[in-house]
């Protein structure tokens, strides 16, 4: 008989199981159905700063890529008529390794047909409060409603810069965001950041004010989720995908193909929808005060 | 040529001709955005610590540094002389370069000398050193429990706060990372 296993690993297993069960209870209680979509996909997403693992057969034939998120396939399910769907799955990003990044991580993604991003923000707030109590974490600060702030306001507050002054320099925007703004977001309570530049949300619709209908939640300086009022205009979607491809080409990074089945379904029609993608490992890390996402995974790469 | 994927604690890079050592680092990537490595780096010449953010994948120049164990021999003017115990090669570091570490050098103390492009730029003393008290106010007899402290001067000129029971002539263990008193050494 071997010695009892590492107590810290066992505790992580129990906390994760409790969190996953609570997430499922939350969505099932709201008439969502749980779905599964493939890990190997024909296009991993075209955002400029996204890197994916290519999958090849034993004979060396290209098969596809590991999904960086299940977004395209879940939206195809909306086109097929699904109303409320959620998924807990592994997603994969190349070149992302750090205290808040792991190349393989657990994603929670959900969509509501005939809904706006506002309703999905509401889901997010209530989900976090629900799972926090399921984990028996005393965290009154996560109770809804959360504070709201626009990207422009966040920049002015924490970096004394306006979005306008950074509008022609994405790299500078991200540098300022990473150094000055994000570390200070959601210091005491989670905060929802809205009104992102249109160039930073390829799959979101535009709001009346010309900004992307995109939101992100931050808690203690960590990005927790990214949600959209989804773009349903197929012509506009193709134009943006082609722009993304041109940007990738210019930057000398692999140019991934457009998912044509996704485009066909979009052309046939997708209802106006809201969706959100949330990092489950980061959520658990934040709720139990762990120092890294690796600390809440039984087998992060460094221990694999 | 190195790049940001080589960054880890202790990694030494050259920035504008000055060697820096990584103290802390974090990968950050704003959603849908460019990835960066935020670092806290220490100027190996001055000891000053600064924050610097690199674009993920950015090329870096590795600093040509080497650490050698050497023995402290003696002072010479405003400098101190050290000797490599294997090659017997000697070199000198100015008191200014040594900074606080000048207070941890006794005849024969073994230190790690940091060389940058072949020239010495600083030393790392042992974590703990034992030093003699040369001057301190007499303590109150029997008071060994109080948290009150008093100043003491040690044989190298180092000033530390010590408990009241410490007397001139005692040997003390000192933590060179903090420059603080650890305990009185018996005997």
Which band of pLDDT confidence, cut at 50, 70 and 90, is reported for residue A40? very high
Residues B31 and B56 in one domain: yes
CA distance A202 to chain B (A): 9
Q: SS3 of A48, please?
A: coil
Mean pLDDT of A32-52: 97
Question: Is A34 a domain residue?
Answer: yes
Residue of A65 and A138 predicted with greater confidence: A65
Residues of chain A positioned with their CB less than 8 A from the CB of B53: 175, 178-179
Which band of pLDDT confidence, cut at 50, 70 and 90, is reported for residue B75? very high
Counted domains in chain A: 1
Give the Cα separation of A86 and A106 in Å (integer).
13
Residues B118 and B157 in one domain: no
Kindly determine whether residue A99 and residue B53, on different chains, have CB atoms separated by under 8 Å: no
* Rg, Å, chain A Cα set: 19
Kindly determine whether residue A49 and residue B55, on different chains, have CB atoms separated by under 8 Å: no
Nearest-CB residue to A96 (from B26, B35, B53): B35
Which band of pLDDT confidence, cut at 50, 70 and 90, is reported for residue A96? confident
State chain A's mean pLDDT as an integer.
95
Question: For chain B, which residues lie within 8 Å of any Cβ of chain A, measuring from their own Cβ?
Answer: 26-36, 38, 51, 53, 55-56
Least confident window among A18-22, A270-274, B95-99, B139-143: B139-143
Containing domain of residue B45, as a range? 2-62
Contact residues for B67 (Cβ-Cβ < 8 A; gap 6+): B112, B113, B114, B115, B124
ipTM of the complex: 0.87
Q: Does position A53 have pLDDT exceeding 60, yes or no?
A: yes
Which band of pLDDT confidence, cut at 50, 70 and 90, is reported for residue A9? confident
Q: Is A65 an interface residue toward B (CB < 8 Å)?
A: no
Give the Cα separation of B128 and B126 in Å (integer).
5
The two structure tokens encoding residue A240: 């943006």
Containing domain of residue A237, as a range? 7-146+189-303
- Find out whether B103 and B156 touch, Cβ atoms under 8 Å: yes
Nearest-CB residue to A201 (from B30, B32, B36): B32
Residues B58 and B69 in one domain: no
Query: What is the CATH number for A213?
Result: 3.30.930.10
Query: What is the CATH number for B73?
Result: 2.40.50.140
Mean pLDDT of A29-36: 98
Question: Is A224 a domain residue?
Answer: yes
Kindly determine whether residue A226 and residue B31, on different chains, have CB atoms separated by under 8 Å: yes
Residues B7 and B25 in one domain: yes
Residues B50 and B77 in one domain: no
Query: What is the CATH number for B51?
Result: 2.30.30.30
Give how far the C-alpha of residue A229 lies from the chain's centroid of Cα atoms, to the nearest Å. 13
Residues B115 and B133 in one domain: no
Kindly determine whether residue B28 and residue A171, on different chains, have CB atoms separated by under 8 Å: no
The nearest alpha carbon in chain B to A202 belongs to B32
CA distance A272 to chain B (A): 22
How much is the pLDDT for B140?
A: 62
Counted domains in chain B: 3
State chain B's mean pLDDT as an integer.
92
Which residue has 């379904």 as its token pair? Answer: A265
Which residue has 């506009």 as its token pair? Answer: A236
Question: Is A1 a domain residue?
Answer: no
Kindly determine whether residue A95 and residue B26, on different chains, have CB atoms separated by under 8 Å: no
Give the Cα separation of A67 and A263 in Å (integer).
17
Question: Is A42 a domain residue?
Answer: yes
How much is the pLDDT for B186?
A: 78
The two structure tokens encoding residue B90: 């000697």
Q: Does position A139 have pLDDT exceeding 90, yes or no?
A: no
Sheet holding B12-15, edge to edge: B2-3, B59-62, B12-15, B18-28, B36-43, B49-55
For A173, phi then psi, to 5°, come to: -55, -50
Sheet holding A222-229, edge to edge: A33-34, A84-92, A104-113, A273-279, A222-229, A212-219, A191-196, A147-150
- Asked, as a colleague might, if the bond just before A157 is cis with ω within 30 of 0, I would say no
How much is the pLDDT for A7?
A: 80
Contact residues for A301 (Cβ-Cβ < 8 A; gap 6+): A97, A102, A103, A104
Q: Is A177 an interface residue toward B (CB < 8 Å)?
A: yes
Q: SS3 of A59, please?
A: coil
Question: Is A170 a domain residue?
Answer: no
Which band of pLDDT confidence, cut at 50, 70 and 90, is reported for residue A8? confident
Q: Does position A38 have pLDDT exceeding 60, yes or no?
A: yes
- Per residue in B113-159, pLDDT (tens digit) is 999 999 999 999 999 999 999 999 886 665 555 568 899 999 999 99
Question: Is A161 a domain residue?
Answer: no
In this structure, the number of other CB atoms found within 10 A of the CB of residue A26 comes to: 20
């Amino acid at each position: 008989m071997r010695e009892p296993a590492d107590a810290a690993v066992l505790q992580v297993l129990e906390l994760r199981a409790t969190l996953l069960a609570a997430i499922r209870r939350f969505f099932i209680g709201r008439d969502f159905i749980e779905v599964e979509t493939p890990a190997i996909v024909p296009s991993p997403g075209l955002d400029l700063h996204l890197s994916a693992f290519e999958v090849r057969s034993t004979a060396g034939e290209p098969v596809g890529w590991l999904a960086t998120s299940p977004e395209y396939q879940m939206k195809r399910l909306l086109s097929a008529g699904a109303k409320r769907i959620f998924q807990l799955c592994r997603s994969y990003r190349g070149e992302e390794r750090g205290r808040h990044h792991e190349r393989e991580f657990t994603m929670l993604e959900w969509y509501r047909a005939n809904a706006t991003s506002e309703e999905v923000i509401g889901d997010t707030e209530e989900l976090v409060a629900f799972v926090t109590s399921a984990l028996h974490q005393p965290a009154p600060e996560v109770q809804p409603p959360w504070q709201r702030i626009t990207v422009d306001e966040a920049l002015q507050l924490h970096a004394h810069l306006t979005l306008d002054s950074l509008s022609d320099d994405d790299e500078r925007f991200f540098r300022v965001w990473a150094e000055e703004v994000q570390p200070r977001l959601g210091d005491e309570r989670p905060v929802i950041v809205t009104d992102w530049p249109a160039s930073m949300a390829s799959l979101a619709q535009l709001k009346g004010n010309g900004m992307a209908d995109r939101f992100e939640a931050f808690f203690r300086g960590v990005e927790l989720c990214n949600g959209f009022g989804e773009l349903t205009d197929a012509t506009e979607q193709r134009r943006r995908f082609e722009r993304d491809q041109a940007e990738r080409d210019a930057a000398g990074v692999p140019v991934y193909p457009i998912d044509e089945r996704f485009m066909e379904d979009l052309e046939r029609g997708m209802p106006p929808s809201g969706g959100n993608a949330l990092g489950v490992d980061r959520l658990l890390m934040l709720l139990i005060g762990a120092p890294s996402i690796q600390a809440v995974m039984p087998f992060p790469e460094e221990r694999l | 040529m190195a790049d940001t994927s080589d960054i880890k604690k202790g990694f030494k890079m050259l920035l504008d001709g000055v060697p820096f050592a990584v103290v802390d680092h974090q990968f950050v990537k704003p959603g849908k955005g460019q990835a960066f490595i935020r670092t806290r780096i220490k100027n190996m010449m001055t000891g000053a610590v600064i924050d610097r953010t690199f674009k993920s994948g950015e090329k870096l120049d590795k600093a040509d540094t080497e650490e050698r164990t050497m023995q402290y021999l003696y002072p010479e003017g405003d400098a101190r002389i050290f000797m490599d115990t294997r090659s017997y090669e000697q070199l000198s570091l100015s008191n200014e370069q040594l900074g606080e570490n000048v207070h941890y050098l006794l005849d024969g103390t073994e230190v790690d000398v940091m060389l940058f492009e072949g020239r010495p730029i600083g030393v790392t003393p042992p974590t703990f050193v034992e030093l003699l008290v040369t001057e301190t106010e007499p303590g109150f007899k029997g008071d060994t429990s109080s948290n009150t402290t008093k100043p003491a001067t040690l044989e190298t000129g180092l000033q530390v706060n010590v408990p009241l029971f410490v007397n001139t002539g005692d040997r003390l263990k000192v933590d060179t990372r903090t420059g603080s008193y650890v305990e009185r050494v018996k005997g």
